[in-house]
Homo-oligomer: A and B are copies of this chain.
Amino acid sequence: MPEIMVFAATGRTTEQKRGLARDLTDAMVKNFGVPAESVTVQIIESPRDSKAKGGILFCDR
């Protein structure tokens, strides 16, 4: 509470995810005044043939 779900194409390193989870959580604590331990972050990655922008799959862009 709150829960943050990040929907992204695959391809990030663990180091990138580590930094993102920390900074998203900090943003929530700072702005919503919740304890850090109450914040959950989940990154939902889909392969590049399962995500599109403008109707074009990322694997085709």
Tell me if B55 and A21 are in contact (CB < 8 A).
Answer: yes
Identify the closest chain B residue to A59 (Cβ): B14
Quick check: A53 and B32 within 8 Å, CB to CB? Answer: no
Known contacts A27-B24, A57-B14; A50 and B46 CB within 8 A of each other: no
Please, how many residues of chain A have a CB less than 8 angstroms from a CB on the other chain? Answer: 49
- Tallying the copies of this chain within the complex gives 6
**Which chain B residue lies CB-closest to A30?**
B23
Q: Residues of B contacting A9 with CB < 8 Å?
A: 1-2
A9-51 interface with B by 8 A CB criterion: 9, 12, 14, 16-28, 30-33, 36-37, 39-46, 49-51
Pick the residue among B2, B7, B22, B57 that contacts A55 (CB under 8 A). B22
